[in-house]
Amino acid sequence: MTEATTDPAPSPASVGLGGDSDEIAAIEEIEAEFGVMLDYADAPQWHTAGDVFRSLLAQLPAEQSDNPDTWDRFVRALTDQSGIDPAEITPDSPLIEEGQIWRGLGAVSRMLLLLAIGMALVVILGAVMLAR
């Protein structure tokens, strides 16, 4: 008799935000779409799309929060910055992709890292040209 194995449930698709201020633009996009201002006191608890959606629902009138179209409008606005397919987003979707190479680096840090890599390539190319 063989033992049945079950694959763990696949993790939900990430919203694809990078933690480099694109998340701020995404929140602004949501606010503009719905004409509300989210309560930024909730922001430290925003880890998933569902977390932000709950904050949005708290700001909407009942007739709008009960509208089935509200989730679709929300995910379209949320993913506008990242280019992720809104249909892939669920309430459990993490806002920031954990595996991103740039995670934790701000825009200035990334720019400096790219500049350092570029300078290193220029030095290497220069040394190769001089060696000829």
Q: What is the pLDDT of residue 34?
A: 96
pTM of the model: 0.68
Is it the case that residue 87 has pLDDT exceeding 90? Answer: yes
Is it the case that residue 122 has pLDDT exceeding 60? Answer: yes
- For 130, what's the count of Cα atoms within 13 Å in the CB-facing half-sphere? 6
Q: What band does 83 get if pLDDT is binned at 50, 70 and 90?
A: confident
Handedness of CA 27, 30, 36, 42 (dihedral sign): negative
Is it the case that residue 103 has pLDDT exceeding 60? Answer: no
Q: Give dist(CA 47, CA 28) in Å, integer.
A: 17
Q: What is the 3-state secondary structure of 54-73?
A: HHHHHHCCHHHHCCCHHHHH
Over residues 6-25, the mean pLDDT reads 77
pLDDT digits (tens, 9 = 90+) for 26-55: 999 999 999 999 999 988 899 999 999 999
